[in-house]
């Protein structure tokens, strides 16, 4: 059993991450999709509509990838802060990422892989661990790729189900015309800068403890999930797909593909007023379905899925911005601040009322990390018999904007500061690993001395 101090140091250690994206991978995924379609045909099931023309991500956008385990856990924890699980509040779901604090091992001159504890956990919780760690690696890589593609913008990650629920009924529990379509992206990446149209990329990420062949199958499935949302013209919405292979031996590998297109832009129609992001939104009841191009006099029937048409661009930009704000306030432990950003169907009630023991968080902690004041929430637990404190939050001045519903002001200020956040992974005054993201959020952990 490692001393807690050693575990904390390892969490802050940058390590190389192997990424595979090539024309050979495209061929393997296309073959896996064809095989799946053949099996579905034998079972008399319809072939899935998949994103066409998958491509390898350009090398200049991938670059070299170095991450700390702590940054991966920060990315994962923030991504699931709005999760709707059981009767507990999604507010506290992000603490679940900390169960992987000893699952990853790596060093600056080598590649990240599963640790001995990660391999042991995989024997019992394969799907859970691979899926959640796969999410962390995929989203960290997605943000790097899109930041290199759009260097003067900020990338916000938004859970797709939460965003879509503002306009569509996804399940029988949701009021409105239900889509009945179970294929959906897992996240949206909104690439934005103040005063300009933003661009949206559907993302599907999976993970496995098996091999590359399993990743090919997962990417073939992912191509059906990202195809379920069209923003603008038919089949012109760019997307990202990931499958993280976490083998029992050897380095983990993120298999990644993308699709190009001219769509995804949320530009304001000339006859519609610009929306103020500070204003609240209400649930819409948009009829589900994606309209294919009209050929001839009779429009073809809609395909299953979700279509954001030009008259909805400003509305969807509004939804994404406020859902991202909800994710930040939830990550900081403030349920009251989160409620204002969500509609009823998006899950307001999950941030009010009763929560089971150990599922609730309270925004009542203040910490100075890397000389920046943060406000947020803390969690105390034992790491190899040693008591440790974890803290998640948002820079104090930015959080005050979010707390008061000032999304426009938050976005303006965080954009101005996008390149000024510290890159350090360890704070000696705090005494533990620290991860600060460009959106002003932080995750930190240290050993408790008393």
Q: What is the mean pLDDT of the chain?
A: 91
What is the predicted pLDDT for the residue at 217?
98
What is the predicted pLDDT for the residue at 167?
94
What's the mean pLDDT in 345-374?
Answer: 75
Please indicate whether residue 299 or residue 318 has the higher confidence score (pLDDT): 318
What is the predicted pLDDT for the residue at 268?
80
Q: How confident is the model at residue 362 (pLDDT cuts 50, 70, 90)?
A: low
What is the predicted pLDDT for the residue at 349?
78
What is the predicted pLDDT for the residue at 92?
58
| Beta strand pairing call for 441-447 and 18-20 | unpaired
Q: How confident is the model at residue 314 (pLDDT cuts 50, 70, 90)?
A: very high
89 touches 43 (CB < 8 A)? no
Helix H, strand E, coil C: the string for 136-192 is HHHHHHHHHHHHHHCCCCEEEEEEHHHHHCCCCECCCCCCCCECCCCCCCCEEEEEE
Residue 78, phi then psi, degrees to nearest 5: -70, -35
Instruction: Report residue 167 as tokens.
Output: 């306009």
Q: How confident is the model at residue 357 (pLDDT cuts 50, 70, 90)?
A: very low
28 touches 123 (CB < 8 A)? no
Task: Give the span between the Cα atoms of 442 and 435, in whole angstroms.
Answer: 6
What is the predicted pLDDT for the residue at 405?
97
What is the predicted pLDDT for the residue at 361?
59
The model's pLDDT over 53-104, given as tens digits with 9 standing for 90+, comes to: 999 999 999 988 999 999 999 999 999 998 764 333 455 578 888 999 999 9
376 touches 331 (CB < 8 A)? yes
Statement: residue 256 has pLDDT above 50? yes
What is the predicted pLDDT for the residue at 138?
98
What is the predicted pLDDT for the residue at 173?
76
CA distances, 52 to each of 26, 234, 260, 333 (Å) = 11, 11, 10, 41
pTM of this prediction? 0.94
Please indicate whether residue 224 or residue 270 has the higher confidence score (pLDDT): 224
The model's pLDDT over 141-172, given as tens digits with 9 standing for 90+, comes to: 999 999 999 999 999 999 999 999 999 988 77
199 touches 266 (CB < 8 A)? yes
Statement: residue 363 has pLDDT above 80? no
Q: How confident is the model at residue 261 (pLDDT cuts 50, 70, 90)?
A: very high
Statement: residue 273 has pLDDT above 60? yes
Residue of 16, 17, 73 whose CA lies nearest to 444: 73
């Amino acid at each position: 059993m490692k001393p807690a101090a050693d575990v904390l140091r390892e969490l802050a250690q940058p390590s190389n991450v192997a990424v595979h994206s090539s024309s050979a991978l495209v061929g393997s995924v296309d073959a896996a999709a064809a095989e799946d379609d053949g099996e579905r045909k034998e079972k008399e099931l319809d072939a899935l509509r998949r994103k066409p023309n998958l491509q390898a991500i350009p090398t200049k956008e991938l670059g070299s990838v170095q991450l700390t385990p702590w940054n991966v856990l920060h990315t994962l924890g923030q991504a699931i802060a709005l999760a709707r699980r059981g009767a507990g509040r999604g507010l506290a779901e992000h603490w679940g990422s900390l169960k992987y604090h000893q699952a990853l091992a790596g060093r600056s001159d080598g590649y990240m892989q599963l640790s001995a504890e990660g391999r042991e956990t995989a024997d019992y919780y394969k799907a859970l661990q691979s899926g959640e760690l796969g999410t962390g690696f995929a989203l960290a890589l997605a943000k790097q790729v899109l930041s290199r593609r759009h260097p003067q913008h900020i990338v916000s990650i938004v859970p797709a189900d939460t965003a879509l629920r503002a306009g569509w009924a996804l399940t029988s529990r949701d009021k409105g015309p239900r889509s009945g379509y179970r294929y959906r992206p897992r996240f949206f990446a909104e690439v934005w800068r103040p005063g300009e149209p933003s661009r949206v990329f559907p993302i599907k990420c999976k993970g496995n403890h098996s091999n590359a062949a399993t990743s090919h199958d997962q990417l073939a499935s992912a191509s059906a999930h990202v195809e379920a949302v069209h923003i603008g013209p038919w089949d012109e919405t760019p997307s990202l797909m990931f499958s993280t292979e976490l083998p029992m031996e050897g380095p983990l590998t993120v298999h990644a593909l993308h699709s190009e297109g001219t769509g995804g832009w949320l530009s304001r129609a000339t006859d519609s007023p610009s929306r103020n992001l500070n204003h609240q939104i209400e649930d819409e009841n948009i009829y589900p379905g994606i309209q294919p191009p009209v050929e001839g006099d009779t429009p073809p029937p809609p395909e299953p899925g979700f279509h954001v048409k030009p008259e909805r661009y400003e509305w969807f930009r509004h939804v994404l911005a406020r859902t991202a704000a909800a994710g930040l306030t939830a990550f900081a432990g403030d349920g009251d601040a989160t409620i204002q950003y969500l509609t009823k169907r998006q899950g307001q009630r999950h941030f009010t009322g009763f929560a089971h023991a150990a599922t609730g968080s309270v925004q009542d902690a203040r910490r100075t990390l890397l000389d920046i004041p943060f406000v947020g929430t803390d969690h105390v637990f034992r790491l190899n018999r040693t008591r440790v404190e974890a803290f998640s939050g948002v820079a104090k001045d930015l959080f005050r904007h979010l707390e008061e519903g000032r999304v426009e002001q938050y976005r303006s200020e965080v954009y101005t500061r996008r390149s000024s956040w510290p890159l350090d992974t360890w704070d000696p005054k705090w005494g533990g690993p620290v991860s600060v993201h460009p959106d002003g959020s932080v995750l930190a952990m240290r050993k408790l001395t008393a």
